[in-house]
A and B are shown apart, each in its own frame.
Chain A
Amino acid sequence: MTKILAFAEQREGKFKKAAFEATQTAKKIADQLNGEAVALLVGDGVEGIAAQLGSYGAVKVIVAQDARLKNYSTTAYSKVIAEIAKQENASVIILPATQMGKDLAPRISGKLSAGLAADCTALKIEGGEIIATRPVYAGKSLVDIQVSSPVKIFTLRPNVFTATPGGNSSPAIQKATVNLTDADFSTKVTGIRIAEGRPDVTEAGIIVSGGRGMKGPEHFALVEKLADVLGGGVGASRAVVDAGWRPHDEQVGQTGKTVSPSLYIACGISGAVQHLAGMSSSKYIVAINKDKDAPIFQIADYGIVGDVFEVLPALTEEIRKLLGK
């Protein structure tokens, strides 16, 4: 029977939404292969949140705890996941393609000699085999790939797969035993600096993004105000990051972040192919640009041809009214 292990990432005792996506996808694949999906939670003092995974389809949740696992460690976490996969005889391992998941997956791949299909945007079954789809060349094309090793690893692009709660909320909880020595902790997280305020672009459900059409760093206040009324994140084109107007962790594009929000509002962004590479999998795209021939309008669902300095304040106000803020 095909056993699928889903790594459910938690940070500070809270699951990432992408952890629910991984858990639910593992369940969907297991159902199609007549297999079983099991979730794995790693940390310290986190057994209390394990049951949440039941409502995303986990039949069993394995909890691997150790005081030393409270903070993330590349080498220790990857050892735990590989060991549990072996104990469970899992032939498929699914992780979210979050920063943690993308860090862990190749090390697990190396440990288990297991092929890794990374940053997948779809998984389907064909002839009893899992076929993964992923974007390449900055999303200019897609490839369907198949893993041929006996153990297969898939990481899932966040915000693309569903996470709809509903199933059984009392899965079996199993305590794992993994032997960890201090040598396994050869990398250690010794501190975290979280930027207060807006959601990170890679996790935001709504992103308001600005480009050169904003004409200067001081005008980004208009972008920020709209983002704040929507509770969204702020993104930026490469041009304005390279010009020093915005920090590089806001950069969306081929040499920046790849994002898949429900709504992406591009303000004063022309729509160069390198920018589209980072945001074209957004569910809805709105473009505001005073050039009616800007390429961004070709991929936008809705567009306004106009001056961002007029449109953004009006849009912010209209949304504020709608949301009763």
Chain B
Amino acid sequence: MKIVVCINHVPDTETKVKIGADGKTIDKNGVNFILNPYDEFAIEAGLKLKEKNGGEVIALALGGETHKETLRKALAMGIDKAVLLKDDAVRDSYSTAKALAEHLKTMSADCILFGKQSIDYYDEQIPGLIAEWLGIPSVSVVVKLEVENGKVVCEREIEGGHEIVETKLPAVISAQKGLNEPRYPSLKGIMAARSKPIEEHPAAPCANVVEVKSMQKPPAKAAGKIVGTDASAVPELVRLLHEEAKVI
């Protein structure tokens, strides 16, 4: 089975976001980039599929030099090969997906895995776009995945429950937290990752369709009030919620 996991890096969640000089993107100075947390579930799912079905798992990323570190993390978890589409253009989800799809067309993957979203932009667009352009089915927000002889049975999260979805390979799957417990890279894996090659290819040209006009801090919230201490404050809190906020 040929499995491709598309991964990305994101600013770690402790990052204090500063708006850059262009007023449209964040200032990347001093930002620590980590593997997108949702992508870890996708990598683990890929490794599990390989363990069950044989074949190879390839990590694919679009980006620059800093993405190599992210690919090495995937290699250290057990991924067989890493591919980087080298590009430093500022892309929207659409043109990122376009470049990934163009390369994926040359790969004939049986299963293409993603984290459900990246925790910087929360766009949740790339898996569906790629599936559409490859002409294959997609299942998003997957919390359970079973693949047997090319038949796929998933559970995906919906409001208040789960949908059971059936499809066939080749397919795109995006992973939700709860799909699995991502393994920690072993020391052996980390050492091996250092010498595994990262294949580099150019990325298809960038043609964005969504333009950022400006980035701003969210409006400052008006200071709230401490109503009081302990249970004695409860009647006043309830009065405020009922009469002032009118939410109960």
Contact = CB atoms under 8 A, between A and B. Distances in A.
A195 interface: yes
A107 B128 contact: yes
B24 A143 contact: yes
B223 to A, nearest CB: 8
B129 interface: yes
Contacts of A148: 208-211
Contact of A142 (B38, B92, B177, B215): B215
Interface in A137-155: 137-149
Contacts of B218: 135, 139-142, 280
Interface in B152-170: 155-168
B63 interface: no
Contact of B163 (A72, A118, A137): A72
A52 interface: no
A319 interface: yes
A103 B128 contact: yes
A113 to B, nearest CB: 8
B197 to A, nearest CB: 32
Contact of B212 (A143, A191, A285): A143
A32 to B, nearest CB: 18
Interface stretch (A23-31, A36-44, A167-175, A251-259): A251-259
Given A116-B94, A191-B163, A186 B226 contact: no
B107 interface: no
B158 A99 contact: yes
A116 B132 contact: no
Given A145-B212, A192-B161, A187 B167 contact: yes
B231 interface: yes
B248 A319 contact: yes
Q: Is the interface of A mostly helix, strand, loop or mixed?
A: mixed
B200 to A, nearest CB: 26
Interface residues of B, number: 83
A102 B164 CA distance: 17
Contact of B138 (A187, A248, A256, A314): A187
B145 interface: no
A297 interface: yes
Interface of B: 11, 13-17, 19, 24, 26, 37-38, 92-94, 97, 119-129, 131-133, 136-141, 155-168, 171, 177-178, 208-218, 221, 224-231, 233-235, 237-238, 240-242, 245, 247-248
Given A147-B211, A263-B241, 12 more contacts: A99-B158, A107-B138, A110-B131, A116-B123, A137-B15, A141-B218, A192-B164, A206-B248, A273-B14, A303-B227, A306-B229, A318-B238
Interface of A: 16, 72, 74-75, 78, 98-100, 102-107, 109-111, 113-119, 131, 135-149, 186-195, 199-200, 202-203, 206, 230, 248-249, 251, 254-256, 258, 262-263, 273-274, 277, 280, 283-286, 292, 297-307, 310-311, 314-315, 318-319, 322-323
